[in-house]
Amino acid sequence: MLVVSSREFREKQAEYMDMADSGEQIIVQRGKNKAYSITPIKNDDIFFSKEMINKIEKSLLQAKNGEITKVTGKDDLVKFLKDL
């Protein structure tokens, strides 16, 4: 794992992205309490998988059939979350 400052990352951005492409874990430190991980994104990360599409279609069908939970306020939300 390599930790670099945000300033250093800006100066050598392409170099660090190439390192991330090669499997190196790059952490960009921004100030004292903030850090970000540089990770390459693959096609599978961008597009929905067949499983996710099936879940979305199922949820849409449930909503169309009225199989929903209506949350209209804080108390409803608290109850809904407790029932999960």
Contact between 35 and 28 (Cβ < 8 Å): yes
Which contacts qualify for 51-58: CB closer than 8 Å, 24 or more apart?
A: none
Answer whether 0.75 is exceeded by the pTM: no
Per-residue pLDDT of the chain (84 residues; tens, 9 = 90+): 999 999 999 999 999 999 999 999 999 999 989 999 999 988 777 778 889 999 999 999 999 999 998 999 999 999 999 998
